């Protein structure tokens, strides 16, 4: 057997694992989504109801509310974290101890236990005794209720999500920057290109495929946001900060409405796939445009 064939065979375990742990359970949950099944009422699956669960979910005001909030959160958080991540990766590139230290500090949001992070954000933004409002109050800027008023809580959660995942974009971008051939940059500098020009004409075009990849990954990941809702607002006030992931969690594991949770998961899946497909198409267009240049 040739090396090539052995390498091709190496795909098999990966595909098997994915089939077993993702595609099979997904197919099963699709099957469940077409039936009537509330675990609280019956331990076995009920009758076939077609697309009824889907239409019921789509007509649920709480679900559509969660849908809009999730879209806003995903867009806001991915844009913020990609821009900040790229900027921070550029700023902290290099090998001296100051840069090492700042990189390490900047990575902490992603590394520290997410549970503790939620608790601390809550304490930090506490309406009356939190340090943020104390500072704002001292400056006479008012004391907003960051997690307590619906609209503001949505913005706050978006910022927390961006905060937590900016380090992710930062280190992937750092790797992309690291793989730019140094001689290209040296040559550009020899020709007298300034930093702005090098950034626009060399660094951004070369790293653009990776930037888009990071943006796509962040966007899809943010569409599935669940844990920060858990640790900060618990979905409130009211239903203001229910993300789709949280809504599904509540339906499935709190009300045991398994079939509707399955239908909603499939809607979320479709949303994620559509987002990813849009990004990949966009990326292909940009890259073929770059080749033509």
Partner 1 sequence: MAESTPMPARRFDPWPATIFVMLAVLAVLFLLPTAGVVLSSLKTTHDISMGDLWSLPATLYLGNFREALSNPSVHRYLLNTLLVTLPATTGSITLGVLAGYVFAKLPFRGSNALFLVLVAGMFFPPQAILVPLFRMFNAVGLIDTLWPVIVVHTALGIPICTLLMRNFFATVPNALREAAIMEGASEWQVLTRVVLPLSLPALAVLAVLQFTWIWNDFLWPLIFTKSDDKRTIMIGIVNLKGQYSVAWGVQGALSLVASLPTLAVFLFFQRYFIKGMTMGAVKG
Q: Which is nearer to partner 1, 20 or 40 (CB)?
A: 20
| Opening angle at CA 243, ends 241 and 249, nearest 5 | 115
Residue closer to partner 1 (CB basis): 49 or 210: 210
Cis peptide before 290 (omega within 30 of 0): no
Q: Which residue has the tokens 């590394």?
A: 111
Task: State the nearest-atom distance from the C-beta of 49 to partner 1, in Å.
Answer: 18
User: What SS3 state is found at 232?
Assistant: coil
Q: How far apart are CA 154 and CA 235, in angstroms?
A: 10
Question: How far apart are CB 238 and partner 1 at their closest, in Å?
Answer: 22
Measured from the CB of residue 172, what is the shortest distance to partner 1 in angstroms? 6
Instruction: Give min distance, CB of 292 to partner 1, in A.
Output: 18
- Nearest approach, Cβ of 237 to partner 1 (angstroms)? 21
Distance separating alpha carbons of residues 17 and 15, to the nearest angstrom = 5
Rounded Cα gap, residues 290 and 132, in angstroms: 45
List phi, psi (to 5°) of 35.
-120, 170
Residue 183 CB, nearest approach to partner 1 (Å): 7
Q: Which is nearer to partner 1, 132 or 152 (CB)?
A: 132
Q: Is the dihedral of CA 224, 65, 51, 38 positive or negative?
A: positive
Nearer to partner 1, 58 or 185 (CB): 185
Closest CB to partner 1 among 17 and 64?
A: 17
Q: What residues have CB less than 8 Å from 58, skipping those under 6 apart?
A: 64, 267
Exposed (0-12), middle (13-18) or buried (19+): which is 83, by Cβ within 10 Å? Answer: middle
Nearest residue (CB) to partner 1, 49 versus 220: 220
Two tokens, residue 74:
């995903």
């Amino acid at each position: 057997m040739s090396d090539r064939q052995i390498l091709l065979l190496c795909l098999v375990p990966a595909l098997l694992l994915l089939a077993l742990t993702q595609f099979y359970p997904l197919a099963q949950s699709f099957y469940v989504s077409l039936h009537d099944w509330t675990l609280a009422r019956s331990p076995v699956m009920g009758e076939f109801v077609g697309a009824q669960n889907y239409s019921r979910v789509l007509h649920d005001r709480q679900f559509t509310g969660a849908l809009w909030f999730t879209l806003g959160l995903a867009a806001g958080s991915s844009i913020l974290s990609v821009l900040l991540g790229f900027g921070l990766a550029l700023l902290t590139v290099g090998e001296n101890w100051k840069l090492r230290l700042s990189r390490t500090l900047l990575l902490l949001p992603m590394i520290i236990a997410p549970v503790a992070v939620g608790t601390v954000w809550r304490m930090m933004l506490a309406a009356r005794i939190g340090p943020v409002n104390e500072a704002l109050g001292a400056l006479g800027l008012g004391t907003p209720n960051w997690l307590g008023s619906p609209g503001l809580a949505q913005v706050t959660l978006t910022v927390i999500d961006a905060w937590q995942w900016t380090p992710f974009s930062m280190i992937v971008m750092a790797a992309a920057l690291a793989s730019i051939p140094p001689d290209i940059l040296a040559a550009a500098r020899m020709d007298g290109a300034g930093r702005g020009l090098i950034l626009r004409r060399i660094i951004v075009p070369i790293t653009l495929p990776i930037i888009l990849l990071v943006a796509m990954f962040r966007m899809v990941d943010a569409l599935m946001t669940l844990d920060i809702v858990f640790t900060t607002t618990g979905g409130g006030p009211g239903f203001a900060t229910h993300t789709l992931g949280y809504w599904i969690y509540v339906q499935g594991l709190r009300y045991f409405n398994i079939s509707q949770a399955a239908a909603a998961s499939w809607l979320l899946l479709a949303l994620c796939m559509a987002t990813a497909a849009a990004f990949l198409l966009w990326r292909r267009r940009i890259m073929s445009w770059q080749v033509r240049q």
